[in-house]
Amino acid sequence: MTQASFPVITDQGGQAESQKRPARVLEVLYSYRMGGSEILASRLAKALHNRGHDVATCSLHTEKGVISEDLEEAGIYCKSFDLEHRSRFLKLFFPFQLYWFLKRNRFDVMHVHHIFVLRHCYWAARLAGVRHIVVTEHSDHEFREHAGLRRDGHRLGNLADEVTVIHNGMGDYFRKELSVAGDKIRLVCNSVDTQTFYPGTPDSNLRKELQLSPECVICGWVGRFHEAKDIGTLLEAFSLAVAPAINPSALVMVGDGAEKESAMRHAERLGIADNVFFLGERKDIPDLMRSFDLYVSSSKKEGVPLVLLEAMATGLACVVTDVGGVADIVTESTGIMVPPQRPDLLASALRAVVDNPDKRQRLGASALARVQQEYRFDTMVDRFTQVLKLDESCHA
């Protein structure tokens, strides 16, 4: 695939300072692999690009992945520093390479996803002349567990021009616990593109692909196999729910990550391997969602999961754990919440939804209505356009 080009701004004699141009923005991701914050950042970049803004992306950790492929197909430039595969010696050159990349391309705005990513690029950006630095934090649970990250949150949160958070509880935490100036903090809720995620008949035939009967209730999960997702609890809950349930069911897991192999072995030990399907990373997530009958999550740490909003926009009943900002979006009328790390309670909630198609339909319809009313994607893009100051012109 040919990488999208990103033209370097060049001075034009003595006219450079008198000319104006649109603000040039760089979206900085940790990785180009599939993950909640990476998906949101890529969708935001595409939306800004489609609105005519001058946008590029870069990843610090990985070389390429499904995210960069999707962005390049949309005509957006993707730069990777691939720190994952560098030796300790070569990593020493990264700040200078980032500085030169920012300086050469004359970025005006840098939007960084996660404080720990900003730690690696703040000073290079300031020295390169980036005039406006915004950091979006997608979760606060790591800050609560690591003193070093709390120090970074305080220091970098106050150095950044603006800090966006995805739910009110996180904003309170940054103000009260990290002592970030309140006038820097902006609430920008995660949102979902309802033109992409919507109820309906799927284009693919997942049931045929997995050889599932029409009566089988498909419980879907999408994400990165990471310890925060507590996949062990999900698998144990599903094993408890399968036998007593009236209707046959299957658990379809979409995604990749360090703990995927461990999860597959755990499913074997629990004796549910024939009912659990690991599909790996897929690019047809919206279509797969339309193949699910309900959505389930067992996370013990979360912010506001983007995938949960996507499931709700698809009209799925959701059985989830009460962590992070989940309670901000899931109510009694849109899903069922249980405490984290309680496979017994999660199993009971699953059975209640698997065995009751009317309840699934009722919860799914309410979830869809809530997303359409309160979590529209265009609203989020409008808000970021304001926070990033993209409507302000800059000197050429």
Beta bridge partners of 262: none
- pTM (2 decimals)? 0.80
Tell whether 260 is covered by a domain: yes
Residue 358 is part of which domain span? 206-374
Tell whether 312 is covered by a domain: yes
Is residue 225 located within the same domain as residue 370? yes
Is residue 85 located within the same domain as residue 172? yes
Task: Compare 54 and 393 and report the one with higher pLDDT.
Answer: 54
Is residue 173 located within the same domain as residue 242? no
- Give the position of tokens 């500085």: 99
Predicted pLDDT of residue 304? 85
Tell whether 199 is covered by a domain: no
Neighbours of 201 (CB within 10 A): 7
Is residue 40 located within the same domain as residue 149? yes
Is residue 177 located within the same domain as residue 263? no
pLDDT in tens, 37-65: 898 999 999 999 999 999 999 999 988 88
Tell whether 198 is covered by a domain: no
- Determine contact, residues 277/251, Cβ cutoff 8 Å: yes
Predicted pLDDT of residue 356? 94
Predicted pLDDT of residue 128? 97
Is residue 230 located within the same domain as residue 174? no
Tell whether 362 is covered by a domain: yes
Task: Compare 3 and 156 and report the one with higher pLDDT.
Answer: 156
Q: If DSSP codes are grouped into helix, strand and coil, which group holds residue 171?
A: helix
Write the CATH number for 254.
Answer: 3.40.50.2000
Tell whether 200 is covered by a domain: no
Is residue 184 located within the same domain as residue 48? yes
pLDDT in tens, 298-346: 999 888 888 999 999 999 999 999 998 898 899 999 999 999 999 999 9
pLDDT in tens, 227-262: 999 999 999 999 999 877 778 899 999 999 899 999
Task: Tell which phi-psi region holds residue 280, choosing left (phi > 0), alpha (psi between -120 and 50) or beta.
Answer: left
Does the structure show a pLDDT above 70 at 14? Answer: no
Tell whether 16 is covered by a domain: no
Considering its fold, how many domains does the chain have in total?
2
* The CA-based dihedral angle spanning residues 329, 297, 303, 70, taken in that order and rounded to the nearest 10 degrees: -100
Is residue 250 located within the same domain as residue 370? yes
Is residue 124 located within the same domain as residue 150? yes
Residue among 194, 188, 93, 244 nearest 384 (CA): 188
Tell whether 141 is covered by a domain: yes
Beta bridge partners of 254: 222, 280
Is residue 369 located within the same domain as residue 382? no
- Give the position of tokens 């209640």: 352
Token pair listed for 8: 């370097």
Does the structure show a pLDDT above 70 at 6? Answer: no
- Averaged pLDDT for residues 284-295: 95
Beta bridge partners of 26: 56, 110
